Amino acid sequence: MNNITFDKIHTQTKQKKLMDMMHLSALACHQIYNTNNPASACPICQSTEFSFYVEKFGFRLDKCHKCQQIFCNPMPNREQLNCYYNGEMGEFENQFFEDSFENRIPIFDYRIKIIQQYLDAGNLLDIGSAIGIFIEALNRANTKLNISCCEPSEDACERLRKRFPKVTLFNDWMQNLPNTAQYDGISLWDTLEHIDQIDTFCTKLFNLLKPGGYWFFSTPNTSSFEWEIAGKDHVQLLPPGHINLFNPNSIKILLNKHDFELIEILTPNGSLDVSYIEKLLAKSTKYDVNIGAFLKEKFKDAEFKDGFIQLISQTKNAGNMLVVARKPK
Ligand SMILES: [Zn+2]
């Protein structure tokens, strides 16, 4: 797991073009009037104590003082979100996933290993399948799971159909799926941070699961090493794409609110944190104050670096969470 690095999964083309694309896409979204009012409470814990955190691409992000959730405020409305996902950004993302397809497989291998600890057969619904890197990893792992995919992007669905003709495919938003509790498991990889109406989303997801069914998901962890160093410069602050950024505490509150049982939170990819922070430290001296200069030097020592990666991975301090939750029996 420790050889997954930032450069391997973010191709050079993506790193160069992402910011230009974001600016263009955000500009298009701002042409549409946002009919949403600013929130008067944190979308996760309902606390009224929150304040301005940072502005990115013309969108304001607030941070809750109580659960530390970072959220877009006001949330972009549906028309703006449709504009963002159906514009050039969608195809850009799909192409970028094609380019980093093989390098991303190991991330999913680990996730599949965790899924198999809880579920070895039955119906698994993958929400937000994109171009199907997870589906490919599942096929290679020869699981007995019966897989369905839910993916709103037409471009992605075309690629999915070609690659996996046997998989059941819903080219739609998850909210539009029939309301039957038919899945033994639902997977949702790096998607929760994109969701605007988080409570509606969780209720729907709960209803799709059979009693005792599992929800496996991943999302950025803002209470982590890489966020501690990068702060407001973090590359994942990407509204209107990323509009809800979690930490282990806000995840617990969200699951509890929706009657899910939290089984475990893991942060397996500490090597991503270290490779990202190394890049950041090499690019600018602004992080040298305090710990930046120290780390820049210490990361040259392979033993320190490996030990550090192990430490943040095992103590839930790495920047991506893998969460296992369950609908009660
Ligand atoms: Zn809160």
pLDDT tens sequence across 31-57? 999 999 999 999 999 999 999 999 999
Say how many Å lie between the CA of residue 251 and the centre of ligand 1.
10
Q: What is the pLDDT at residue 17?
A: 80
Residue 74: asked if its preceding bond is cis (omega within 30°), the reply is yes
In the 8-state DSSP scheme, what is residue 260? Answer: P
Rounded CA separation 101/10 (Å): 10
pLDDT in tens, 150-174: 998 888 899 999 999 989 999 998 9
In this structure, of 53-57, 175-179, 194-198, the range with the lowest mean pLDDT score is 175-179
Pair 263, 322: CB distance under 8 Å: no
Q: What is the pLDDT at residue 265?
A: 98
Say how many Å lie between the CA of residue 179 and the centre of ligand 1.
29
Mean pLDDT of the 44-71 span: 98
Quickly count: other Cβ atoms within 10 Å of residue 127's Cβ: 25
Beta pairing partners, 55: 60
Cα atoms in the 13 Å half-sphere on the side-chain side of 67: 23
Contacts of 237 (CB under 8 A, 6+ apart): 54, 56, 61, 70, 245
Q: What is the pLDDT at residue 1?
A: 52
Beta pairing partners, 148: 125, 168
pLDDT in tens, 224-279: 999 999 999 999 999 999 999 999 999 999 999 999 999 999 999 899 999 999 99
Question: Which residue type, as a one-letter code, is found at position 264?
Answer: E
Say how many Å lie between the CA of residue 322 and the centre of ligand 1.
20
Which domains, from first to last, does the chain contain? 6-326 (3.40.50.150)
Say how many Å lie between the CA of residue 79 and the centre of ligand 1.
26
Say how many Å lie between the CA of residue 219 and the centre of ligand 1.
17
Say how many Å lie between the CA of residue 306 and the centre of ligand 1.
34
Mapped onto helix, strand or coil, the DSSP state of residue 149 is strand
Q: Is 26's pLDDT higher than 80? A: yes
Say how many Å lie between the CA of residue 71 and the centre of ligand 1.
9
pLDDT in tens, 281-322: 988 888 887 677 888 899 999 999 999 999 999 999 999 999
Mean pLDDT of the 125-141 span: 95
Whole-angstrom distance between the N-terminal and C-terminal Cα of the chain?
33
